[in-house]
Structure 1
């Protein structure tokens, strides 16, 4: 799977529809997410995705459908905190060492509000044939334009180094990401790490940790940082189809209390 990336707002809260009606809505939405057919379907997190340096074959397209769902804990700047975020990602590999991708996020809150999340354009530069190397890496550069419902700045740049280490059935991936909001305060350090073990021919189990330490010039105190821990499963469903699912829990007050995610990937 190409990646698993990686913001929360102070949204105006609508009038409550009543406890029973609200509970029924939430149960219905949860059931829809769990029972819907997947092909239809982090701090500083709007998506929880870690990049491992592998891209599609040159001239090939990579289509990923992302889904993030949860009861998200804090008020602040960034992606909607309570509801469903779905993002369509379309990537194209121009060479063995470069891929460009477009992200189109759409959010739906428990309140019923539905709105677009702007767009992201990602350029990934990697060492060719990463899957065949014990050590591989690259650099991911992402430019995004999003409203204040998603981000503290309308325009921002992410610089995401990629370090991919493999030995036997084990894999360790590091993404020491720097987020640079344009026209706002200084850059933010938001690294992520993923450990994976292959447990069957087409199945991998993993643990992911997404972090937001705050501005590089002055890290936040531990209790004000965001730390999100996920347990994940990756399943290769066919030659060109794969599924990544995860369940996450926040380790600090400024993290999402609970979040689920899924990424369905097509290569063609």
Structure 2
């Protein structure tokens, strides 16, 4: 049951919760992961309801050299994660997921585990202006990252009007340890409703490198910039998010296909 307006926390209280959790968890807590290619839209599971998402992406053409010794080269890998989420209130959702990769030899490689707290404006799908913050803690296996522990801070800012929606996720990814860093990895979505429960659009995903020391896209070609064409629709009670992405720099995977299947229960 939706909370009455008087029972809902004020914006100041919500921001206070954000700050307290971030401060408490930052020092105890991910590089931008290929298991989840998604722009968050501040929509969450209904109160006291579970949702299950399965993320997949396949790198048709990518790097044949790992980013670090012992890592995984992205070319021809199937990546993904199952994601179980629960709506605690109409403004708070908690989620748990376990990334994986299947490499070119067919070997299944577990990626660790992630726990996220998602705080949003209630009933974001009904709003013209919506916002939120995702706080995600992660443990990543040595094949996935040189820094085992990480933290993602993902603000969500969006506008929806006359069938259009524009969403920005200015993500900060922090990893901890000797090779740790805080990187800026923004994600942006522009989409339009073209039929009942069908949207088409474009999504951008980037990684500009360590905050305060952004690499350039030219020399050396370290920044990652990828542009996706996407289509979202509903079928047989499932929400489907699919798309094809093309890398815009040498550091980006050249061609990536993604698929997300979502169901509430």
**Bin of the TM-score, shorter chain as denominator length:** 0.7 to 0.9
* Alpha-carbon shift at residue 147 of structure 1 (Å): 1.5
Contact 1:177 1:190 (C-alpha < 8 Å) held by counterparts: yes
SS in structure 2 at match of 1:120? strand
* Alpha-carbon shift at residue 202 of structure 1 (Å): 1.9
- 1:166 aligned to 2:163? no
SS in structure 2 at match of 1:230? strand
Contact 2:42 2:120 (C-alpha < 8 Å) held by counterparts: yes
For residues 225 and 98 of structure 1, the distance between their equivalents in structure 2, rounded to whole angstroms, comes to 33
How many residue pairs get matched?
227
Instruction: Work out which of the residue numbers 38, 51, 59 in structure 2 matches 1:49.
Output: 38
Structure 2 gaps of 5+ residues are 1-29
For residues 249 and 143 of structure 2, the distance between their equivalents in structure 1, rounded to whole angstroms, comes to 22
Match of 2:21? none
Q: How does 1:168-187 map to 2 (within 5 A)?
A: 168-183=162-177, 184-187=179-182
For residues 79 and 58 of structure 1, the distance between their equivalents in structure 2, rounded to whole angstroms, comes to 39
Match of 1:191? 186
**TM-score under structure 1 normalisation?**
0.80
* Alpha-carbon shift at residue 80 of structure 1 (Å): 4.9
Q: How does 1:105-184 map to 2 (within 5 A)?
A: 105-183=99-177, 184=179
- 1:103 aligned to 2:97? yes
Structure 1 gaps of 5+ residues are 1-5, 8-41
For residues 180 and 79 of structure 1, the distance between their equivalents in structure 2, rounded to whole angstroms, comes to 20
Contact 1:80 1:150 (C-alpha < 8 Å) held by counterparts: no
Match of 2:54? 65
Name the CA shift for 1:181/1:141 in 2 (closer, same or farther; >3 Å).
Answer: same
For residues 261 and 37 of structure 2, the distance between their equivalents in structure 1, rounded to whole angstroms, comes to 13
**TM-score under structure 2 normalisation?**
0.81
Q: Deviations over 1:38-57 (max 9, x none)?
A: xxxx6x64421110000011
Moved over 6 A (4+): none
Contact 1:48 1:261 (C-alpha < 8 Å) held by counterparts: yes
* Alpha-carbon shift at residue 105 of structure 1 (Å): 1.7
Question: What root-mean-square deviation, in Å, do the aligned CA atoms of Structure 1 and Structure 2 show?
Answer: 1.7
